Structure 1
């Protein structure tokens, strides 16, 4: 079981969490803090501003067609099985959190380094042959950040369209039309057409299937289970679900169209290209990172992730940090002394911090860690599905943009890690196969903390302290230089500010 730092235990209580897989957050359905009747006017990310995904005009609640749907709902509720009742509890009235947890589970499952072939070569996972070997994907931190961004953006845009039609047509929930129908969830002043849950179920299934193709059957089963629960909740009839499914399909297609041309397919490159990047850095600066892992993979992790399409930063140069200290310079030598001192005198607390924030293989990675924090705040502050999707969309766009910026700096500067340049130096946290400057943990965490501080200002001091702890954890572990962490923290904050500029103009505040 994972050990939690004191700051985390004070925030959320003594909660246990598997090191390998996220535990399902235990929460009951709740009354939303606000309904946001004008949510359909918020600015989407993928859908052109001012337009919505078209769906049919709903039947009147007095029509024969609608009354027949009510009869079907009542019959289904009356014959509900114990399994279906448990499913209702699982999905709750905020499935945004539940589908995010599904994504975290899959990231952890696929966060495994592909092994070598018998001849010593290292094959890359191939999306055109997901069975492999090796199986596709390798859900490392850049991949995780991208999967979570596309999932959350699709959910958010889909719900903006759903909210537009909900308050345009104002079809009441089934249990309000027919008092003999009981509601499984707390009563909300949210119209039923189209079903927001159906938007989430279908868009999430499509996005996650594209990101984790070997899980197609599992994800389809979850989608059907979720849709069934919506019908049994007493809030929706079949046509509510059909309209939501239609929105979910369209918005997922928009997201996947963007993903198909964002450059991620080229991020893991050939050894020849990788070597040319290293040599260019050496010619430019006089140094280059060398992979000291054992066994050694011939190519670093996603050398061209820094060229993937950004969400809100205009270009990578706009968020590229300045030159790191040259090896042998006074600043560099001071940091050598600092790292040697940490290694020699590492305290129990420092070791615990390094382990807590490790988020290595078999976990949901640093981006997933911050999504877990966000989910807990969403429930704590009783955010609606729309507000929840907005939170995760901005969180994950900022995290992905921060990661792209970080990887640009890593391979532009190609800075050596401490283990490469300090004689006899050892880490307690492995040897990553990509350059040092800047620290991915620092960049991801600072970007995430700034978004969470914006959405949950009551938690601003806390989340920023967590980001600082995540950054220094990599120095305690011997993975990074101190300037990797401090500069990376600022780089993450800068990345988040581009996303927050967009958030402040979307009409939700």
Structure 2
């Protein structure tokens, strides 16, 4: 990979980056749109957590001529006729593709909880504890490894839930209420998708349950969002109560399966006590003759999630398959050349390089680098008018790839334990803070390259654009002074390598 490749960014890319929000999730406002496809065969696609779309049993709905269903229609007309102004606003908010809204809610929570726990009065640190979420400090600290894990579990559960919903939609083929009774007006575009079970109800229930487990202090807020979403589904005229109840069953069962996996994926062991952290550093020193030393002020005694590299991956069989080559020795010509490159960047920091470093910072109080790629993803989803099922598939694959990328990256970070420039270049200063974990490889580079490869696969028209973004994200950390150029270049290659495992799964899931 040639160094100057990272600097070739088209005007279109620059315009897009300048126009995007840098730090916080944006609320995407769009008019009702007709889906580019309805994916009638979506119930046959291969899910992630379950074996098939019929694994969860949903009984056949009442016949549309039955007294039970006719009563549901009558009740629905009554409810729709008395919609309040607040309910009208909620209808506008939830739209006909609520996968986007639940992703936005998730990014907002990540940004809210992406706060480093501060030191105690005596200089010690207390880590967030899921068994005592109120703390202090409050649980969780939504750093990038935590954030991408939230996004992965949420989107995978949404995807499996919607595959199940699509299976039963086209098995039972019950038309939506507004097609049964002309007096019922649908609030959104008619996409001609059967109503039983409600895909929106699947999303509401699965998302509330996953996010409550990940952000326990937000339980009340999430319950209110679920209730608002479910109420909007009814008042849209697109679903009767039995459609919604069937969707809730699917959502809750899929969320349970997702959380069972999460409970045993190894994340609870990722943040280690100091003796374990010290032993990891000592092993690296014995292996290579160097170790990373934290240079942040105040200094936390343990690096960020030293054992995240041992968390269960989604699509990579073994993390060692994606472990990159060793970084250069600290007395090598390659290392010395990189020292000069970083000094030159620091002494000649152009306005453009500073802009790039700042745009991709994604630090504390933001939605993190994985969140940044989710923000791009939702805009492509709207641009190409994906339906909720295909939207969930897109989010699932990009977030699985980025989580696998993060695990691979953290494995490399703590296996090689490579020092950052601020540690080994005398008098060196950064403009992007001082992360409390080793340098090699760059997390921004791995997350971004993995995300870009999935987007390039799903949206081939955007392949050049997203790969340019990934390369810019990688170099942003070099311009910021916190990474070596080889952290960025090799990290980009690592992310591409990791993502291919997920792309291979996507290629045979039946959706293409």
Q: Give the structure-2-normalised TM-score.
A: 0.97
Change (3 A) 1:281 1:129: same
Deviation at 1:313, TM superposition (A): 0.2
Deviation at 1:26, TM superposition (A): 1.2
The answer as to 2:102 corresponding to 1:99 is yes
Output the CA distance in 2 between the equivalents of 1:320 and 1:127: 30
Output the CA distance in 1 between the equivalents of 2:399 and 2:478: 25
> Cα deviations across residues 63-110 of structure 1 (Å, max 9, x unaligned)?
001011011111111000011001001000000010000000000000
Change (3 A) 1:50 1:230: closer
Aligned to 1:349: 352
Matching residue within 25, 29, 37 for 2:28: 25
Aligned to 1:37: 40
Change (3 A) 1:61 1:51: closer
Check the 8 A contact 2:22/2:360 in 1, yes or no.
Answer: no
Output the CA distance in 1 between the equivalents of 2:494 and 2:326: 13
Matching residue within 224, 239, 242 for 1:239: 242
Output the CA distance in 2 between the equivalents of 1:459 and 1:10: 15
Output the CA distance in 2 between the equivalents of 1:358 and 1:213: 27
Change (3 A) 1:109 1:7: farther
Aligned to 1:131: 134
Check the 8 A contact 2:46/2:510 in 1, yes or no.
Answer: yes
Output the CA distance in 2 between the equivalents of 1:145 and 1:222: 22
Aligned to 2:398: 395
Deviation at 1:328, TM superposition (A): 1.2
Could you list the runs of 5+ residues in structure 1 that have no partner in the other structure? none
Output the CA distance in 1 between the equivalents of 2:291 and 2:313: 26
Aligned to 1:330: 333
Check the 8 A contact 2:53/2:160 in 1, yes or no.
Answer: no
More divergent stretch after superposition (66-75 vs 274-283): 66-75
Aligned to 1:10: 15
Map 1:370-381 onto structure 2 (within 5 A).
Answer: 370-381=373-384
Deviation at 1:11, TM superposition (A): 3.8
Check the 8 A contact 1:28/1:89 in 2, yes or no.
Answer: no
> Cα deviations across residues 205-225 of structure 1 (Å, max 9, x unaligned)?
000000000000000000000
More divergent stretch after superposition (452-461 vs 50-59): 50-59
Matching residue within 419, 422, 426 for 2:422: 419
Deviation at 1:8, TM superposition (A): 4.8
Change (3 A) 1:415 1:122: same
Aligned to 2:144: 141
Aligned to 1:62: 65
Deviation at 1:16, TM superposition (A): 5.8
Output the CA distance in 1 between the equivalents of 2:55 and 2:89: 35
Output the CA distance in 1 between the equivalents of 2:19 and 2:482: 28
Matching residue within 487, 492, 497 for 1:489: 492
> Cα deviations across residues 431-456 of structure 1 (Å, max 9, x unaligned)?
00000000000000000000000111
Deviation at 1:10, TM superposition (A): 3.3
Deviation at 1:53, TM superposition (A): 1.0
Check the 8 A contact 2:54/2:167 in 1, yes or no.
Answer: no
Deviation at 1:189, TM superposition (A): 1.6
Deviation at 1:50, TM superposition (A): 6.2
Change (3 A) 1:102 1:400: same
Output the CA distance in 2 between the equivalents of 1:297 and 1:174: 58
Map 1:300-339 onto structure 2 (within 5 A).
Answer: 300-339=303-342
Change (3 A) 1:243 1:50: closer
Aligned to 2:387: 384
Output the CA distance in 2 between the equivalents of 1:10 and 1:29: 26
Aligned to 2:409: 406
Deviation at 1:267, TM superposition (A): 0.4
Map 1:441-480 onto structure 2 (within 5 A).
Answer: 441-480=444-483
Deviation at 1:27, TM superposition (A): 1.3
Instruction: Indicate the SS of the match to 2:361.
Output: coil
Output the CA distance in 2 between the equivalents of 1:375 and 1:216: 25
Matching residue within 159, 162, 165 for 2:162: 159
Instruction: Indicate the SS of the match to 1:499.
Output: helix
Deviation at 1:496, TM superposition (A): 0.5
Deviation at 1:55, TM superposition (A): 1.3
Instruction: Indicate the SS of the match to 1:326.
Output: coil
The answer as to 2:218 corresponding to 1:215 is yes
Query: Alpha carbon RMSD of aligned pairs, Å?
Result: 1.1
Change (3 A) 1:405 1:16: closer
The answer as to 2:188 corresponding to 1:170 is no
Q: How many residues align?
A: 503
Deviation at 1:6, TM superposition (A): 6.0
Aligned to 2:6: none
Aligned to 1:86: 89
Output the CA distance in 2 between the equivalents of 1:48 and 1:456: 27
